[in-house]
Amino acid sequence: MAPRSVLITGCSQGGAGEALARVFHQNGFKVFATARSLSKIQHLESEGIEVLELNVLDNQSIEKTVHAVSGLTGGKLDFLINNAGAGYMTPLLDIDLTKANKLFDLNVFAPFAVVKAFISLLIASKGTIVNIGSYVDSLPAPWQGVYNASKAALRSLTDNLRLELRPFNINVVYIAAGGIRSNFLDNLGTVHVSDTSLYYPAREILEPIMN
């Protein structure tokens, strides 16, 4: 009997996706660990984990990954875990709208692009979709407004997707993750309060908090 299969996005070294890939592998799953750059996941290959380059913001990259997975599983996928994402820490009145739009593309729309591409494989196995969110989806917090809103949107869309896919025997799960020891915050970079910000007079207090 073929092992159950799982594809996980956002498996770069030091993150939650990497940890998930290892746990599934240890439990006998055929694991497809993905990241935008193979160099960030190549180390997992030596552990017996299949690694694939996947840019969740690129439809061609997604389709290429679907083709690769389908060929290795006979056209089925048991679990799809949308873990890839990013953060954005800045006062709402200081946000860069271009950056905010890109964050929503990655945190909200990309997971559904991946689901859409893999749906036939998931239906074939009566599989499970897992979208990794955050407890901040319903928690107002200063400087995190855009990130929190992206997770709230992900949760809402996941709840609707669950209803729409129920007739096809697909489970849809949203995980409101708490604090996870990872390199997530390291990837935010250093945040500075702009000299045009309403909060500039308090920058010496705020910047250590945001960083």
Task: Establish whether 151 is a catalytic residue.
Answer: yes
* Average pLDDT for 91-105: 94
**Identified catalytic residue from 147, 174, 199, 200:** 147
Burial of 115 from C-beta contacts in 10 A (0-12 / 13-18 / 19+)? buried
Q: Which residues share a beta bridge with 31?
A: 6
**Identified catalytic residue from 40, 76, 151, 174:** 151
- The torsion defined by the Cα of 162, 165, 169 and 172, in degrees rounded to 10, comes to -30
Give the dihedral sign, CA 21/12/78/166: positive
Q: What is the pLDDT of residues 8-38, one digit of tens each?
A: 999 998 889 999 999 999 999 999 999 999 9
Give the dihedral sign, CA 118/121/122/123: positive
**pLDDT over 90 at 90, yes or no:** no
* CB-based burial, 21-41: b 16+ in 10 Å, e otherwise: bbebbeeebbbbbbbbeeebb
CA-based nearest residue to 174, from 184, 187, 162: 162
Give the dihedral sign, CA 142/107/38/47: positive
**pLDDT over 90 at 191, yes or no:** no
**pLDDT over 80 at 74, yes or no:** yes
Mean pLDDT for all residues in the chain: 91
The DSSP secondary structure of 71-122, one letter per residue, reads HHHTS--SEEEE-------S-GGG--HHHHHHHHIIIIIHHHHHHHHHHHHH
Task: Establish whether 200 is a catalytic residue.
Answer: no
Residues 6 or more apart whose CB falls under 8 angstroms from that of 46 comprise none
| Element of type H or E holding 34 | strand 30-35
In CATH terms, the superfamily for domain 5-210 is NAD(P)-binding Rossmann-like Domain (3.40.50.720)
**pLDDT over 60 at 185, yes or no:** no
**pLDDT over 60 at 180, yes or no:** no
* pTM attached to this predicted model: 0.90
The residue ranges of every structural domain in the chain are 5-210
- The type of residue at 174 is Y
Could you give phi then psi for residue 183, rounded to 5 degrees?
A: -95, 20
CB-based contact 111:155 (threshold 8 Å):
no
Q: What is the pLDDT of residues 114-143, one digit of tens each?
A: 999 999 999 999 999 999 999 988 888 888
The separation between CA 108 and the C-alpha centre of its own chain, rounded to angstroms, equals 9
